[in-house]
Amino acid sequence: MTNSAETRNGRKVAKPLGVYIITVSDFVAVGVVPLVAIMLLKGNPDVDIPFLSFLLPIPAMVASVWAMAGDNLGRLLLLGLVTVSSLLMITNSLGLLAGGVVTGPSAIRVGGAIVRGLFWIGINWWYFNREATVAYYKRHKLRDTVQSV
């Protein structure tokens, strides 16, 4: 039986354009950019890079592709990874500012990292929890429920 909640109601739940925009932005901003920065800093002996920094960008890129494909688990995983990555960036930046390690123009860049982290958390949680976006991600669950009845 091929009837689904999408077609039974006469409406198909289309993929919102924002899903493409946010997931591609997350792929770049939470995955590619930190990974490139880590690779560039890896050659600098004065910089100590935490091991966790190597582990977060690749799963974030995978989760963004998974969320773009329309899977709800991918959406939830992406929200979690963006949140963890951003909170680590914010915490590190606050530590650098509080410790007086950075001053002048470097302090402005570190302050910008705090703003970027807050922005990514806010935009992802806002967009991926909107009613229309959640309906898109949960469309498979509705279809499975209708087919089993």
User: Would 7 be classed as within a structural domain?
Assistant: no
Give CA–CA dist 105/52, Å, rounded. Answer: 27
Residue 48 lies in a domain: yes
**pTM above the 0.85 mark?**
no
The answer to whether residue 53 sits within a structural domain is yes
Q: Residue 58: what pLDDT?
A: 94
Q: Is residue 46 part of a domain?
A: yes
Domain-located, residue 109: yes
Q: Concatenated DSSP letters for the chain?
A: ----HHHHTT---PPPHHHHHHHHHHIIIIIIHHHHHHHHHHT-TT----THHHHSHHHHHHHHHHHHTT-HHHHHHHHHHHHHHHHHHHHHHHHHHHTT---THHHHHHHHHHHHHHHHHHHHHHHHTSHHHHHHHTHHHHHHHHHH-
How confident is the model at residue 141, as a pLDDT? 67
- Higher pLDDT residue, 68 or 12? 68
Q: Contact, 3 vs 149, CB < 8 A? A: no
Q: How many domains does the chain have?
A: 1
Q: Which pLDDT does position 28 carry in this prediction?
A: 97
Given a cut of 60, whether residue 113 has pLDDT beyond it is: yes
Q: What is the pLDDT of residues 51-83, one digit of tens each?
A: 777 788 999 999 999 999 999 999 999 999 999
Q: What is the mean pLDDT of residues 22-29?
A: 97
Is residue 104 left, alpha or beta, with left meaning phi > 0 and alpha meaning psi from -120 to 50? Answer: left
Domain annotation covers residue 11: no
Average pLDDT of the segment spanning 18-23: 96
Residue 104 lies in a domain: yes
Please check whether residue 149 lies inside any domain of the structure: no
Range of the domain at 33: 16-138
Residue 147: band (very low, low, confident or very high) from pLDDT cuts 50, 70, 90: low
CA dihedral 24→75→16→12, nearest 10 degrees, is 140
